[in-house]
Every structure is written in C-alpha cells, then in structure tokens.
Structure 1
Amino acid sequence: MSFIYEGMSSAKEKIKSNFGNVKKSYEPILKIIDERWEGQLHRPLHAAAYYLNLHFHYDPNFKGDDADIKQGLYNCMGILVFDQTERNKISVQLPNFHYARGLFGMETAKSSRKTMLPAEWWDFYRDGCPELKKFTICVLSLTCSSSGCERNWSGFEMVNTKKRNRLHQKKMNDLVYVMYNLKLKSK
C-alpha cells in the first residue's frame, strides 16, 4: 500500500521522459491516468502510507511538504484514530520521525531504512512514540486488494462457470439453492 503513491509519481515521470517531455504527446495519457487516480486510487490512506514509508521519507526527492500529502496524512489520522488526545500526541511525535530524532536517528535505524519492511522497522525503532507507532503500523500493514474490481457474481453465475457447465440440471439447481442460502445466512 505504501508504495502506490511513489509508484504513480514515478510512472508519470517515466511516461513524460519516454515522450521526450513533449507535453502535447504525453498529456492525453496522463489525463487518463489522472482520471483513474483521482476516481479510484487517490485516497488519504495512500498519502499517509507514502509519508510514513521510510523508504521514501528520508530520500532527497521526498515530497513530504506537498499539501496534498500532508492533508491526506491528517485526514487518514482523523479516520483511523478516534481519540483527539491520541491524534494530538501523534502530531507531537511526527517531527521526531521527520527529523530523525531519538531512535529514528540512530545509525542502525538509518542503515536499515531500505532493507527492512516499513512496518517491521517501525515496530523495532518506535520507542518514545507509541501512538505514532500504532497509527503507522496500522497504515503500513494494510495491503492492496483488487476485490473492488472483481466481478460480483450472482448465485447462478457462480455455479454456471465453464468448469461446472456439465452439471445435471437437478445438481445445478441444488448448488444454486445452497449458494443463495449461504449468501442470505451471511447477511
């Protein structure tokens, strides 16, 4: 999850350079990408994950001062952290991470930024920032899913796939009946 924001930015830059930075050439493609990005992918969670991902945060090209990223970070915090006092503590602890103070600035922490998984690194070097650690691990431990894009099958379509299309009528009716009742039971 925490690599999507940077991946989109890198992909756009690569497209621009592949078209020789001729705006007229790459603009229609970036328009399509931006429409999809804004409509489905650009969420506060992605911005927060980008900001908190140490693989990018300490990189010279990090865009952490971008208003959209910071807005996304605080919006995500507002959604995932219910307690205002805890959100305030996280806001106070964020500069320690940003400026690599305390354990965040230790040589071992710095050298393991690119070698450890972000959630593991946070679990190991988070001392002194328990609220920030909890929020960060919650964000960075999330994975991407394509389930929102997958086909929502009805009971009949689920049963009547190519693999099962040789079923006898009675058996197929029984299977549809079971699938339908399972869906009803789960609601």
Structure 2
Amino acid sequence: MIEEVKVAIYKEECKEYEEESPFYNVVYSILLARWTKSSRLLHCMAHSLNPRYYSIEYLNGAPNRIPPHQNSEIAKERKECLKKYFANEDERRMVNEEFASFSACLDEFASSDFMNDRGKMDPIKWWTVHGSTTPNIQKLALKLLGQPCSSSCCERNWSTYKFIHSLRRNRITPQRAEDLVFVHNNLRLLSRRTLQYKNGDMWDIGGDDYDTIVNVNGGMIEIANLSLDEPDFEGVIFDNEDEDD
C-alpha cells in the first residue's frame, strides 16, 4: 500500500522515484504509525499465510516487494504467534516445516498449479484446494483469512456511548463516559451467562444488532434498564445528575 501511495504521489508531483518529497514523507509517517499500531501477531501470521503475497503478480506490482517469509519484521511476529498458538515444541516444529514447504514452494507446493493459483484464487479457496498436505497451517489459515472485516463492534460501542451521553447528561466528562460505556458493555456480556438471560427474561440492548439500541419493542429503552438491574451502577448515573448538569 505504501509503495502504491508513493507511486501516486510521485506521479502527481512529476518526480523521479529517487527524489525527495516532503509531502510523501508526511504521508509515509502517518501510514507507518498506523501500520505499527495495527501490526500484531495475528496480523503478521495472516499476512504470512496469504498465498497472494507470494505470487509473481503481486511481487512485480511495485518496487522492493518481497514475500512475507523474507521480511524480518513479519517473520519475527509470525514466530511469536506460532509459539503462543503451538506451545508444544514438536508440534511447532511440524508446523514450521509445513510453513517452509508452503512459503518456499517445496514438496507438493512445487507444482505449477499451486504457484500459478496463488495470485488468481481467493485465499480461502486456495487453501481449501491446495492445503490438504499441510493440515496444521491449513486449519490456521482458514481461521485467520476467513475473518470478516466489519465495523460492527465500533458501531455498537458508539451506540452505547450515544445512549449514555444524552441531552440530560451532556456535561459528562469523556473519561467518565468511557468508563460507563466499559461497565455497561461488560455488564451486558456478563448478563448473558445468567439463567434469566437464557430464559429470555434479561434484556440485552440490541443484542448483536448495534443499531437497535434506541428502538426496542417500538420505543426508547427505559433509562432504568441501563443498569442491568444493578442499583450501584444506576446510582452512578443518576445520583450525581444535578452535579453533571
């Protein structure tokens, strides 16, 4: 992505690829900070298991691209992830051997079909078709690469925040609002373990539908329900209402 951004910026500025660009340097620092924030063990593991990033089409798409197993940063994070996922050394060694076959096109992965399909098939389909000889990393790849990209968790959190930071409590401090959202969400999750919830007697704002928080049974949820019938939590919201207002 960074390489593609650089190409676009340098093309717009009519500069050679080796020249200095103050604008690109600013954009690069922002992208690098975002990458560092999002670069976690599972991210690097998923990147390492995506066959697309080993394909000739991808590697030739921009200068300086290398396959994930040759990137020292990604390789380090991948190894840490495997240590956490496979605590047994013998099992982890077997997984490393499977990954070596996959990433270096060894053994069964040396087939032309295996290599040609890397850049043309969906990663999930690729592993389903070609990953049977490496069952351990096939199972891991299907789990990681099958994760959907969704903002539903953020949307649900914002909806809860909107419910707490209402017109009646518009002077509540950001930290207090954050704490109330945290407590509210955790109380809601804990309520799912109770017998009342399993019997359908316990509320759960919107359930897994984040956009229904203000519309349950055709109307606004009663404010008292926000506490999950916890008097202490209800007191936190209402006892100091005059002070907040």
Q: Normalising to structure 1: TM-score of the pair?
A: 0.70
Q: How far did 1:128 drift?
A: 2.5
Equivalences, count: 170
- Contact 1:81–1:135 (CA<8 Å) still a contact in 2? no
Please give the alpha-carbon distance, in whole angstroms, between the structure 1 residues aligned to 2:71 and 2:112: 28
Aligned partner of 1:30 in structure 2 is 28
Which residue, 38, 41, 50 being the options, matches 1:41? 38
The Cα of 1:12 is off from its aligned counterpart by 4.9
2:105 equivalent in structure 1: 100
Q: What is the match of residue 126 of structure 2?
A: 121
Larger relative contact order, structure 1 or 2 (CA cutoff 8 Å, min sep 6)? 1
- 1:41 and 1:157 map into 2 onto residues whose CA distance is 29
State the partner residue of 2:200: none
Identify the residue that residue 181 of structure 2 maps to in structure 1. none
- 1:50 is displaced (CA, Å) by 1.8
In the TM superposition, residue 96 of structure 1 has moved relative to its aligned partner by 1.0
**1:111-162 deviations in whole A, cap 9, x for unaligned?**
322232112211221232111212222222223343358526248349989x
Q: SS of the counterpart of 1:153?
A: helix
**Structure 2: gaps (5+ residues):** 60-64, 168-210, 231-245
Deviation at 1:54, TM superposition (A): 0.9
* 2:224 paired with 1:177: yes
* Alpha-carbon distance in structure 2 between the residues aligned to 1:182 and 1:15: 56
2-side partners of 1:8 and 1:143: how far apart? Answer: 23
The answer to whether the 8 A contact 2:118-2:126 is kept is: yes
Amino acid at match of 1:94: F
Q: Which protein has the larger Cα radius of gyration, Structure 1 or Structure 2?
A: 2
User: What residue is the counterpart of 1:139 in the other structure?
Assistant: 144
Q: 1:73 aligns with which of 56, 73, 78?
A: 78
CA-to-aligned-CA distance 1:45-67 (integer Å, 9 cap, x gap): 22222221111113343343121
CA contact (8 A) 1:15 1:26 kept: yes
Cross-structure match for 1:62: 66
1:91 and 1:9 map into 2 onto residues whose CA distance is: 30
SS at match of 2:133: coil
Shift of 1:14: 3.9
Question: What stretches of structure 1 of length at least 5 have no aligned partner?
Answer: 1-6, 166-170
> For the Cα contact (< 8 Å) 1:49–1:139, is it kept in 2?
yes
Which one is further off, 81-90 or 92-101? 81-90
Contact 1:112 1:121 in 2 (8 A): yes
Note closer, same or farther for the CA distance 1:134–1:117 as it changes in structure 2 (3 Å cut).
same
Alpha-carbon contact 1:155-1:176 (below 8 Å) kept: no
Instruction: Assess, with a 3 A threshold, how the Cα gap between structure 1 residues 182 and 17 changes in structure 2: closer, same or farther.
Output: farther
Q: What TM-score comes out, normalization by structure 2 length?
A: 0.56
Q: Which amino acid aligns with 1:176?
A: I
* Per-residue deviation, 1:18: 4.2
> How far apart, in 2, do the equivalents of 1:135 and 1:49 lie?
9
Change (3 A) 1:129 1:151: same
Pick aligned residue for 1:50 from 33, 47, 56: 47
Question: Does the CA-based 8 Å contact 1:77-1:135 persist in structure 2?
Answer: no
Give the SS at the match of 1:113: helix
Identity of aligned residues (%): 19
